Structure 1
Amino acid sequence: MKKTLIAAGLALSASLSFSAVAADYVIDTEGGHASINFEVSHLGYSHIIGRFNSFEGGFSYDPKNISASEVHVKVDTSSLDSNHAERDKHLRSGDFINTGKYPSAEFTSTKVIDKGQGNFTIEGNLNLYGKTKPISIDAHLVGAGKDPWGGERAGFEGKTRLTLADFGIKAKGIVQYVDMNLQVEGIKK
């Protein structure tokens, strides 16, 4: 009887340690610890750098089982900000991202691939300009652990290039792609 209880206890503890669940995090937009930035060529002479000021989302992360990780982010496209009011009005217009017709963009991961040493490829679907297309984000773990307020945080950075024609954005033939630079810090729920 004692051997049976010990064996059952060992089996249970082994199954619990191997079935760890990824922790859920909310992206810290309130504290200003996350940003969605873009860089786009201006006529081939310079680059315009900007950001989206309003977005929300979260992610699940388990450092022992990276493939169980997930990401979901929703962006308010009208919050586009390139630090120039007239240009922003033009970029929000039908000539570019048409925020009146498409007020949000949304990314949902489908797979996270561990590349080792804190590097990942996040594959998923981006809905932008009314079209959903697969994209890949090259991501890197910046750090994870306890914060000074008794909570836990995890932070990542990521980069991807979006080809505008893939989403039906013609951009008057001036711009073919936009580089996205992502800084994401999450607070564990």
Structure 2
Amino acid sequence: YILDLYTETFLYPATARKRRKGFIDNSLGSKFLEKATQNYYSNDEINVGPYKMLVNCCENCYFTFNIAKAMLPIIVLKNIFFSIVALAIAYFGINNNLIAIPVLQILLSSLFITELVHHINFVVKLNQLFEKFLDAFVNIKDNSLFLQQAVLLYVEYETVLAYNKAPLSDKVYNKLNQKLTKEWEEIKERYEISQ
């Protein structure tokens, strides 16, 4: 509990602030961070501006979505395992106790199932947002509100991240990084990104 409280109150917000500043620096050419973001985005050939902002955010969304999706089976299995263990312990430990069993059911649903529901919601929202990014690239030439759309999609992405209840797995990221980088380059080619 103390570790969760510390990470959610201090560590994650500090990391997120740095990530956002690095995103703005790389996309718009500002200098909010003392050092430039290096080797984070694969879009160095794109000039700074709203278009690069849209491309960088789309890349972030693509990676985040795929990592979260790959984590889903692990979270499902973890929830099933801990729910069964907790129910078994509770049943044999508080058998025939009319007050303890409903309290236990409430606690179980809030501890285990809530995490699963939040993660599924996170994956679904990222998928929907990624589709909006792709639509933006398809309709880019006809869009007179491009800057506004880039900012809106960035804000939507940050909002989805803010409501994520658990960090993404570095292990899953490291496992998928090469594959996702290759797929991202194929997406850039298909949608004529960086031209």
Q: Normalization by structure 2: what TM-score?
A: 0.25
By relative contact order (CA 8 Å, sep 6+), the higher-ranking structure is 2
Q: Which structure is higher in strand share?
A: 1
Q: Which structure is higher in helix share?
A: 2
Q: Normalization by structure 1: what TM-score?
A: 0.25
